[in-house]
Amino acid sequence: MQTRTPAQHARLALLLEVAGTPKPGNVDRRRDLADLRFDHFLAGTVGAQRGLEMAADGAGVGPAFERAVEGMSAQGGGNTQFGALLLLVPLTRAARDDLSQPVVEAVVEDTTVADAAAFYRAFEHVDVFVADPPEDMAPLDVRRGADAVPALEERGLTLLDVMAGSVPGDDVAREWVTGFERSFGAAERLAEAEGPPLDRAAAVFLSLLAERPDTLVADKHGEDVAREVQERAVELHERRAVETDREAVEAFADDLVDRGINPGTTADITAAGLFIALERGVLEV
């Protein structure tokens, strides 16, 4: 049987992530959001191809990410997979050598100021929700896009430095400074979970949502809401509700969609976990 390449596994991970259901608050196989639909995510996955292939071929993480975001955003829904790609690009780059925590740590440690500049340019391709930075960081507000590059260069900040500056508060960036610990943990849980891949994706999404408050929810709705969502996830996860009481998870999912509460960071880490599990052969499709 032909085997899939790392770049193909990255795209399959994006597809399995969005299809996994129920994934409370997110677009999934059964749910669209108001302006963000399942087909936008399908198109985003197709568009991310070249950037992911660049990462697999050894390109710099920044340029590969920028290219992936540019292609991902060539659909009408806006930002679909920005955060997921920020995890998948270094992971795909690491898979070129060996997909382990030390190797992906080396990949992010090797990032440069040029990678940081490409990351900033990526924000010009798509409208990403970002909280206001502290005042002294205003020159480095990512929403400035390429206009922030001189400030980056003056301070000599690499892409890893930029990510480190976003912690705490952004749990995608946190993966960069913790050796992708939650992503690798999610992969282990995907391997141990039962049932077909989309059920496993749903169960592991819920376990991640129970683990820490979702930082996108905290940015948009405040920390109290993020903690409330986490507490409900803890209750459902502890009684393995995806397997034993699916209706309760479906109801939680519908409630979050109705309230416009979208734990996008948790979905990003789920995608990263799916990639690692596929690449290691512990999750089969």
Neighbours of 153 (CB within 10 A): 13
- Cα dihedral 220, 221, 224, 230 sign: negative
Of 6, 24, 26, 43, the one binding a second copy (CB under 8 A) is 43
Strand partners, 31: 28
Q: Based on the shown chain and the rule CB under 8 A, indicate whether residue 11 belongs to the binding site for a second copy.
A: yes
- Distance of closest approach, residue 74 Cβ to a second copy, in angstroms: 5
Q: Based on the shown chain and the rule CB under 8 A, indicate whether residue 33 belongs to the binding site for a second copy.
A: no
CA dist 48 and 169 (Å) reads 26
Which tokens is 170 given? 């952004």
Q: Which is nearer to a second copy, 67 or 182 (CB)?
A: 67
Q: Based on the shown chain and the rule CB under 8 A, indicate whether residue 92 belongs to the binding site for a second copy.
A: no
Which residues lie closer than 8 Å to 243 by C-beta, 6 or more apart?
Answer: 194, 195, 199, 203
* Per-residue mark of binding to a second copy, 124-153 (x: CB under 8 A): ------------------------------
Of 33, 42, 106, 225, the one binding a second copy (CB under 8 A) is 42
Candidates 8-16, 93-101, 216-224, 226-234: pick the segment binding a second copy (CB under 8 A): 8-16
Q: Based on the shown chain and the rule CB under 8 A, indicate whether residue 39 belongs to the binding site for a second copy.
A: yes
Which tokens is 82 given? 């920005």
DSSP string of 122-165, one letter each residue: HTTTS----PPPPGGGGGG-GGGGGGGHHHHHHHT--HHHHHHH
For 42, the enclosing helix (H) or strand (E) is: helix 38-47
Q: Based on the shown chain and the rule CB under 8 A, indicate whether residue 2 belongs to the binding site for a second copy.
A: yes
Q: Based on the shown chain and the rule CB under 8 A, indicate whether residue 282 belongs to the binding site for a second copy.
A: no
CA dist 148 and 141 (Å) reads 7
Q: Based on the shown chain and the rule CB under 8 A, indicate whether residue 63 belongs to the binding site for a second copy.
A: no
Candidates 34-42, 100-108, 151-159, 169-177: pick the segment binding a second copy (CB under 8 A): 34-42
* Per-residue mark of binding to a second copy, 182-201 (x: CB under 8 A): --------------xxx---
Which tokens is 245 given? 């009481």
Binding residues vs a second copy (CB under 8 A): 1-4, 8, 11-12, 15-16, 19, 29-30, 37-40, 42-43, 45-47, 49, 70-71, 73-76, 196-198, 284-285
